[in-house]
Structure 1
């Protein structure tokens, strides 16, 4: 079933938080976001040293945000110093910092909503983020990391309110509600900038792993304060087909033909994670098979072979069936 697009939905901005490991993938992401999504502004939060790598895009609605100037008294080094003092290990500094940035930017966003979109996730077709009643559509998952909710209870006095996870590769945020949540967190932060309050409320044994989730925290705050403003994707026309195994299939930097084939497979977006254990031989083979697929597309009497190619890809990489 084709997704019906609602062109009169609320206007929104897009926020992409970018580390050095995702620069080349993010170039593809931005082009695809511009192609498929109707965003007013695209905010790219990254280190100022990376700005020049995107200047050639020449997009009037691409706004660069220096990650170390978004807060008044807090930056990447602040997180690294805190972790070094608490556990003598700053390896997770970037992981925590990017979450704080995606929350703090709500203070400068001008639109009523902003879409957080992961820098390693490439969209393949238009997607509705609101339904016909202008409710935000949530793409749920099945994660259940207990530590996230312990931290959430410490900083907001809020327990987990749903039996699913809000963690995905994107989240449509209501700007004022995120601002409201930050005010609640700040009430207990004293004179410190609010991220310190979060970091201080993560147990030392947990902080070196994954001690906080901006998606779970905002999602549960949303459900407890404004439950009628969103709903889960449920109907076939709303559900999203996705995979996080893009790097295993085509490596971390897919070309145009790779993306076209993933779209043929019925996927709405694909994540290309740099940490995955990729096999260069498999990637080379997959690219040859894709070239063969599009060659067969030009020969009607051989098109039936393409069904076997598609079936094999879906089975090998556990890809979802088209809805």
Structure 2
């Protein structure tokens, strides 16, 4: 009889929680996204975090296994502190910064060994997605965005320069909780403050977009855990509203067509504000994808 090894193969990590942060302006997209996330992203737990006053509204349109949680559970009265930090002309960015702190704070509620996927609530997965491969390496999508102020912050706060030639701002970010804790500890150490106050202290107060959680976390991981990650070349699309319209009224034919070309598509509220050049580009893309004339 051949010997049977008693050594168990190493377990591939699973996603312990998918975390999204949303507000009423994106509730229509969320209604669609939540169903697709559960269908196409395997995880132990699914959570959407919303403003306290909107919990009941989101609970009415969000089905199990999703949990709807109030943002105060994670950040208390942080909104006031952010408002006090920003200049008067940037007060409309308070909520934008707040959502980023909520995401990181929610990740930090987990055990260091856990794996968490942060998923943008305005983004709809189109097919089964893999974020951890069979070797246990974490998979990251690439974005094309570049904003100098994000990397100015990272260099001021962490002493890290940009060495990657892409953006980690790609609608999703998978990470080990221990990596997020390393980052927040480094921020706290750098400023000798709690990590949230450290971020605020390093902000350029006059800059409307001075910090990006995905870019900061991604750059930290790129520098400190490079051998544990993979960068995906798979395609995704950002301007869903101008390409195919409101996701609530898109036909199954359109969803199927999109899935042939992309892994996921985002429906960001600002999308329809694009100029004529962008509208022409997107009209061309519709024709190229064979979607022209197929909208409801």
Q: Corresponding residue for 1:93?
A: 94
- Structure 1 CA distance, aligned partners of 2:35 and 2:203? 37
The answer to whether 1:168 aligns with 2:176 is no
Unaligned runs of 5+ in 2: 1-10, 275-284
1:243 to 237, 240, 243: 237
1:23 to 12, 15, 27: 27
1:252 and 1:57, CA in 2 relative to 1: closer, same or farther beyond 3 A?
closer
- Structure 1 CA distance, aligned partners of 2:139 and 2:291? 30
Which secondary structure state, in structure 1, belongs to the residue aligned with residue 102 of structure 2?
helix
The answer to whether 1:52 aligns with 2:56 is yes
1:313 and 1:179, CA in 2 relative to 1: closer, same or farther beyond 3 A?
same
Is contact 2:244–2:250 with CA below 8 Å preserved after alignment?
no
Which secondary structure state, in structure 1, belongs to the residue aligned with residue 251 of structure 2?
helix
What is the CA deviation profile of residues 247-274 of structure 1, one whole-angstrom value per residue up to 9, with x for unaligned ones? Answer: 0133233335255344454322111121
Is contact 2:75–2:101 with CA below 8 Å preserved after alignment?
no
Which secondary structure state, in structure 2, belongs to the residue aligned with residue 69 of structure 1?
helix
Q: Corresponding residue for 2:46?
A: 42
- Report matched runs for 1:88-127 at 5 Å: 88-110=89-111, 112-127=114-129
- Report matched runs for 1:181-192 at 5 Å: 181-190=183-192, 192=193
- Report matched runs for 1:170-249 at 5 Å: 170-190=172-192, 192-206=193-207, 208=208, 210-233=209-232, 239-249=233-243
Which secondary structure state, in structure 1, belongs to the residue aligned with residue 72 of structure 2?
coil
Is contact 2:58–2:68 with CA below 8 Å preserved after alignment?
no
Is contact 2:104–2:180 with CA below 8 Å preserved after alignment?
yes
Q: Corresponding residue for 2:271?
A: 276
How far is the alpha carbon of 1:60 from its aligned partner? 4.7
What is the CA deviation profile of residues 219-259 of structure 1, one whole-angstrom value per residue up to 9, with x for unaligned ones? Answer: 111122111110112xxxxx422212210133233335255
- Structure 2 CA distance, aligned partners of 1:174 and 1:161? 21
- Structure 2 CA distance, aligned partners of 1:219 and 1:260? 30
Aligned residues: 270
2:14 to 11, 20, 24: 11
Which secondary structure state, in structure 2, belongs to the residue aligned with residue 228 of structure 1?
helix
Is contact 1:9–1:134 with CA below 8 Å preserved after alignment?
yes
What is the CA deviation profile of residues 69-95 of structure 1, one whole-angstrom value per residue up to 9, with x for unaligned ones? Answer: 3135x4223212322xx3453011111
- Structure 2 CA distance, aligned partners of 1:240 and 1:254? 25
Alignment RMSD, CA only? 2.7
- Structure 1 CA distance, aligned partners of 2:144 and 2:62? 39
- Structure 2 CA distance, aligned partners of 1:30 and 1:9? 25
- Structure 2 CA distance, aligned partners of 1:77 and 1:174? 30
Which secondary structure state, in structure 2, belongs to the residue aligned with residue 270 of structure 1?
strand
What is the CA deviation profile of residues 147-205 of structure 1, one whole-angstrom value per residue up to 9, with x for unaligned ones? Answer: 11111111112222322221101111111110111111112444x54223222222233
1:128 and 1:89, CA in 2 relative to 1: closer, same or farther beyond 3 A?
closer
TM-score by length of structure 1 reads 0.75
1:314 to 281, 285, 289: 289
- Structure 2 CA distance, aligned partners of 1:115 and 1:265? 24
